[in-house]
Amino acid sequence: MRGITRGTWAAALTVVTAVAGLAGCTGGGDGDGKAAARSSAPAVAKACANGTFTWTGVKKTDRLTGVSAPEPSGGRTIKTTNPIERVYTPKPSVRTEGPSLSAAEVLFSLGKKIGEIDSDAATLGDVNGDTWAFTDVHQKAPNLDSRFSEVADPRETVQYAGVREWEGDFRHTCPGGRTTTGHARNWTVDLQGILSCDESVDSAIARQAARLSCEPGSRAARKA
C-alpha cells in the first residue's frame, strides 16, 4: 500500500487563498460624508528623487512552488504525465512608511543590491531586457506546466519547481533628513528539477518535494 493516499496527496497540495471582501458603497448622507473626508485628507508627500537607499538583512531563500505526484517507471524510460501542482505562489511585495516611493524604485534598488540589475544602471530608464520584470510589483509567478517529457531508469519519478526569493529591509534617506523605511520581496530564478524517490537529493527544495510526494522514509526525503 502506498504511504500517501489520494486524499492525503490532495490535502498536501491544497492552497488556501484569503480573499478580501469588497464593501459596496450605498447612497445616503453617510457615504457622502466618507467621500468628503477622503477628498479632504492630506496627500502623502513624495520622497526626493536623489535619495540614498541602504539595505539590511537581505537574504535569499529557495522556495518550492510546485510538485507532481510520483510516477512509477519500472526502470524504463517513460514520458511523464503527472502535472506539477502548485504549493506556493511567489508574489513581489513592497511595504513603505514615510514619504512615498514607487514600488518600481524600491525593487530597482533591491535588484542592484543583489546583482539582478547592473550596478551601473543609474535610473529605471537604464534597465532593459529581462531585468525589467524584477522592478514590476505585478510580476506573475512562473507557469507550472510539466517541464520534462522523458526520464530514464528511476523507479518513481517526481517533478518539482521553485523560485529563488530575495527580501530585505531598506531605508531611503533624502538630503535634509526625510526618510522612508520599509521591506521588499521579489523572486529571480525559475528553478526546476526531477528526482527519484529511491535516491538521495542534495537541495532543500528537492527534499521538500520528496517529503510531499514520495513515501515516508524514502531516501529522497531524508537528509544525506
- DSSP 8-state symbol, 128: -
- More confident site: 30 or 84: 84
**DSSP-assigned letters across all residues of 27-73:** -SHHHHHHHHHHHHSPPPPBPPTT-EEEEEEEEEEEEEEEEEPPEE-
Nearest 5 degrees, angle CA 1-CA 224-CA 8?
30
**Which regions of 69-132 does DSSP assign to beta strands (E)?**
71-72, 78-79, 84-86, 93-97
Rounded CA-CA distance 99/174 in Å is: 10
Residue 129 has what pLDDT?
56
Helices (H) and strands (E) in the chain, counts: 5, 8
Residue 128 has what pLDDT?
57
The residue assigned the cell 530585505 is 168
Contact 179, 98 (CB under 8 A): yes
- More confident site: 29 or 163: 163
135-167 pLDDT tens trace: 899 989 998 886 666 666 667 889 999 999 999
Residue 176 has what pLDDT?
84
* Whole-number percent of the chain with pLDDT over 90: 47
Reported confidence tier of residue 25, pLDDT bands at 50, 70, 90? very low
Residues in the chain: 224
Asked whether residue 223 carries a pLDDT value surpassing 90, the answer given is no
Q: pTM of the prediction?
A: 0.72
- More confident site: 190 or 131: 190
Among the listed ranges 32-36, 139-143, 161-165, 186-190, which one has the minimum average pLDDT value? Answer: 32-36
61-95 pLDDT tens trace: 999 999 999 988 766 666 778 899 999 999 999 99
123-135 pLDDT tens trace: 666 555 555 788 8
